[in-house]
């Protein structure tokens, strides 16, 4: 059940995104708050928002001028990059907070994880975009991925086949789409090809767990790459955030620090090694006489680490 404070915060987040959109630039609320919008969750602590890196100037103006319960914004994490296209275009995120009860926490993305190309649309991410975003290293996110796949299937959208996590659901979906539609999705999700044999529900369920482990390890290695690349920056940024109290001062100092210590694109030229490590992790305890390694979505995963 939503409390009055939480409802007020949701309204504040929506108004913030609407203000940006009204300037003519896209702004899209995604992840947890989008799950609340789609009635897949009841509450979330913060607002994840996608802003095209080229449109950050308008957003920064809003951050500088907007208040929540009389409080102005500050950066809230030493691993936050400044609101600068150079780093947000490279997959980093900026973390901002307005103190209050509850706090208004906003995480800003220039590139949403696992989204290859994005031009924005509605105020909240649609089901397909949200499903891709939620394919994280956290086990708790995967029921949401499945639920979003089910919704796409119900709408007659074959892309829902990419996200189903239950064997029974995949067997049921097999009857709803043509051979051509199924084959098209199998290009991204090769595990769908295992239906060519007389596979049993229990075996398919095991295969799905292996595939999910692979995706979770891809995200784990991705996040670890960013953490390692930002280690020295975070140590120095922590001192800045404890010393400077206004957003403008913090932003200026963090930008200078990032120029010195923070690579803009930590994943550059690392996709093959990260995918290789994730594959090894996923297959470590798997009987490969039963699971064909070609069923792992290698090319799809690699593309998510090398967005155009």
Helix (H), strand (E) at residue 27: none
**Does the pLDDT at position 198 exceed 70?**
no
Give the pLDDT confidence score for residue 1 in this predicted structure: 40
User: What is the average per-residue pLDDT within 194-207?
Assistant: 84
Q: Helix, strand or coil for residue 256? A: helix
Give the pLDDT confidence score for residue 234 in this predicted structure: 97
- Assign 196 a pLDDT band (cuts: 50, 70, 90): low
Higher-pLDDT residue of 17 and 237 is 237
Give the pLDDT confidence score for residue 266 in this predicted structure: 96
Q: Which residue spans of the chain are classified as CATH 3.30.460?
A: 4-109
Per-residue CA distances from 157 to 34, 69, 161 (Å): 20, 43, 8
Give the pLDDT confidence score for residue 206 in this predicted structure: 94
Give the pLDDT confidence score for residue 45 in this predicted structure: 76
User: What is the average per-residue pLDDT within 227-248?
Assistant: 96
Q: Please state whether the peptide bond connecting residue 102 to the residue before it is cis, i.e. omega within 30 degrees of 0.
A: yes
User: What is the average per-residue pLDDT within 291-297?
Assistant: 94
**Does the pLDDT at position 2 exceed 70?**
no
Span of 119-123, 151-155, 296-300 with lowest mean pLDDT: 119-123
Radius of gyration, alpha carbons of the chain? 21
Question: According to DSSP H, which parts of 188-305 are helical?
Answer: 201-229, 231-243, 247-261, 271-283, 298-305
Average pLDDT, the chain: 92
- The CATH code for residues 4-109 is 3.30.460
User: What is the average per-residue pLDDT within 235-259?
Assistant: 96
**Does the pLDDT at position 305 exceed 50?**
yes
Q: Give the DSSP per-residue string, 75-125.
A: E--TTPPPS-HHHHTTT-EEEEEE-SSS-EEEEEESS-TT-S-----SSB-
Alpha-carbon torsion 184, 188, 194, 199, what sign?
negative
Instruction: Please state the pTM of the whole predicted model.
Output: 0.94
């Amino acid at each position: 059940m939503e409390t009055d404070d939480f409802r007020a915060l949701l309204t504040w987040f929506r108004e913030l995104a609407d203000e940006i959109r009204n300037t003519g630039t896209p702004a899209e609320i995604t992840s947890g708050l989008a799950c609340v919008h789609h009635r897949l969750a009841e509450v979330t602590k913060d607002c994840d928002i996608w802003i095209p890196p080229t449109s950050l100037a308008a957003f920064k103006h809003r951050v500088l001028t907007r208040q929540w319960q009389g409080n102005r914004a500050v950066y809230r994490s030493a691993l936050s990059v400044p609101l600068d296209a150079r780093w947000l275009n490279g997959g980093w995120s900026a973390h901002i907070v307005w103190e209050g009860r509850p706090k208004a926490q906003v995480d800003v993305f220039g590139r949403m994880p696992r989204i290859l190309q994005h031009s924005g649309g509605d105020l909240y991410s649609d089901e397909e975009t949200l499903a891709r975003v939620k394919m994280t290293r956290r086990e708790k996110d995967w029921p949401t991925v499945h639920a979003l796949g089910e919704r796409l299937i119900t709408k007659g959208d074959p892309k829902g086949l990419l996200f189903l996590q239950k064997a029974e659901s995949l067997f049921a979906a097999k009857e709803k789409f043509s051979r051509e539609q199924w084959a098209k999705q199998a290009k991204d999700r090769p595990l769908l090809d295992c239906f060519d044999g007389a596979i049993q529900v229990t075996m398919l369920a095991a295969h799905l767990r292996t595939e999910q482990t692979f995706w979770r390890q891809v995200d784990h290695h991705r996040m670890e790459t960013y953490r390692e690349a930002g280690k020295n920056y975070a140590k120095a940024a922590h001192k800045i955030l404890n010393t400077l109290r206004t957003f403008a001062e913090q932003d200026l100092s963090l930008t200078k620090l990032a120029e010195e210590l923070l690579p803009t694109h930590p994943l550059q030229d690392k996709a093959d090694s990260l995918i290789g490590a994730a594959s090894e992790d996923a297959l470590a305890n798997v009987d490969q006489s039963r699971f064909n390694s070609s069923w792992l979505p290698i090319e799809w995963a690699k593309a998510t680490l090398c967005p155009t």
